[in-house]
């Protein structure tokens, strides 16, 4: 099978590329490398690497030629980035998604899996979040992801295209970049705590998340590509179905590291969601999905990966903390 992964040099995309290529699939990666990196693809047997912009329809048309399945993961990530630059977020996430759908329709691509986000639910008090509840995006990023879902659904109904949208909840794991100003919370916490520094929490730390290990996200992508007709045009939660506060996350990381590092607190960020927990029954029903790796085990694997890539000087203060 011939696969195209847009955003394939990013965190989720590169992990998916490794898994698919290891199974013998012919994988092409399309990425502009603005947030992804070729280094992320280490260990993946890539058939073709296309450096291109998802906003350029002709480039996308060339990339989809002869493709059976598209995993459309290309996006400009981060709630905070979208607040500071909503126009670029729209062009990449919305116009880019429309380009993929148009090119796929005209090329006769069999199936498209679209990476959406739990942020589309907004800060509604109802927990767990289920796919039948009203959506209420609070940031341009969330709005752009919801618009992409709407386009996928409309192409499924108007043109009979096999599209499925996966609403990922706080994906984490080895390979995630802790250095970006838009880095996700887990790689930021791990990098700081490995160096013996306190993790920074925006707010009081009682906010909760449904953290999803990367292996579970990759599994969901592959299941969606093989799903039956009932999954077509649908939006489906992908998570662990477990609610953990940021303060509890620090405790779990201290347990894993053998440390007792206390966090520091800063002002909350604009657009952040207070609480998040997924109902994953629809994913079980339509995809046969269940989380294979729980949060604690995923954190241990992630800490091990980061630890193996930090120099002894970076970790010197950690040894002092552990000895004290």
Catalytic residues: 141
All residues at 6 or more sequence positions from 45 whose CB lies less than 8 Å from its CB, including other chains: 21, 22, 27
Spatial contact of 4 and 24, defined as CB atoms under 8 Å apart: no
Enclosing H/E stretch for 34: none
* Distance from C-alpha of 191 to C-alpha of 178, rounded to nearest angstrom: 7
For residue 176, CA distances in Å to 103, 211, 217, 267, 312 come to 30, 14, 14, 24, 20
The structure tokens listed for 233 are 């045009």
- Crossing angle, helix 295-309 and helix 185-194, to 10 degrees? 50
Rounded to 5°, the CA angle 272-231-30 comes to 65
> Cα torsion at 246, 129, 87, 30 (round to 10°)?
90
Per-residue exposure over 191-227, b if at least 16 CB sit within 10 Å of its own CB, e if not = bbbbbbeebebeeebebbbbbbbbbbbbbbbbbbbeb
What is the full DSSP assignment across 229-294? Answer: GGGTTEEEEES-S--EEHHHHHHHHHHHHT--PPPEEEPPPTT--S---B--HHHHHHH----SS-
* Distance from C-alpha of 111 to C-alpha of 289, rounded to nearest angstrom: 18
How many CA atoms, within 13 angstroms, populate the side-chain half-sphere of residue 12?
Answer: 31
């Amino acid at each position: 099978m011939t696969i195209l992964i847009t955003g394939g040099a990013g965190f989720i995309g590169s992990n998916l590329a490794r898994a698919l290529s290891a199974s013998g699939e012919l994988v092409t990666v399309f990425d502009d490398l603005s947030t992804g990196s070729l280094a992320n693809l280490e260990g993946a047997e890539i058939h073709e690497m296309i450096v291109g912009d998802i906003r350029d329809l002709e480039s996308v048309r060339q990339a989809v030629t002869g493709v059976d399945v598209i995993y459309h993961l290309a996006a400009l990530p981060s709630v905070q980035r979208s607040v500071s630059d909503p126009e670029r977020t729209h062009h990449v996430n919305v116009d880019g998604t429309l380009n993929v759908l148009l090119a796929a329709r005209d090329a006769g691509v069999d199936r498209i899996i679209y990476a959406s986000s739990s942020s589309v639910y907004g800060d509604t008090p109802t927990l767990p979040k289920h796919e039948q509840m009203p959506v209420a995006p609070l940031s341009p990023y969330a709005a752009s992801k919801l618009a992409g879902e709407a386009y996928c659904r409309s192409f499924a109904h108007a043109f009979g295209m096999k599209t499925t949208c996966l609403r990922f909840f706080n994906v984490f794991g080895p390979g995630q970049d802790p250095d970006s100003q838009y880095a996700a919370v887990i790689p930021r916490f791990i990098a700081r705590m490995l160096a013996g520094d306190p993790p920074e929490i925006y707010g009081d730390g009682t906010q909760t998340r449904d953290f999803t290990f990367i292996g579970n996200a990759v599994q969901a992508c592959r299941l969606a590509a093989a799903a039956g007709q009932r999954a077509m045009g649908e939006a489906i939660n992908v998570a662990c179905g477990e609610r953990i506060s940021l303060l509890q996350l620090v405790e779990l990381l201290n347990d894993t590291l053998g440390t007792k590092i206390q966090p520091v607190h800063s002002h909350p960020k604009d657009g952040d969601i207070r609480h998040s927990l997924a109902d994953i029954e629809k994913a079980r029903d339509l995809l046969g999905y269940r989380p294979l790796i729980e949060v604690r085990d995923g954190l241990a694997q992630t800490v091990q990966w980061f630890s193996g890539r930090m120099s002894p000087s970076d970790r010197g203060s950690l040894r002092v903390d552990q000895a004290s």
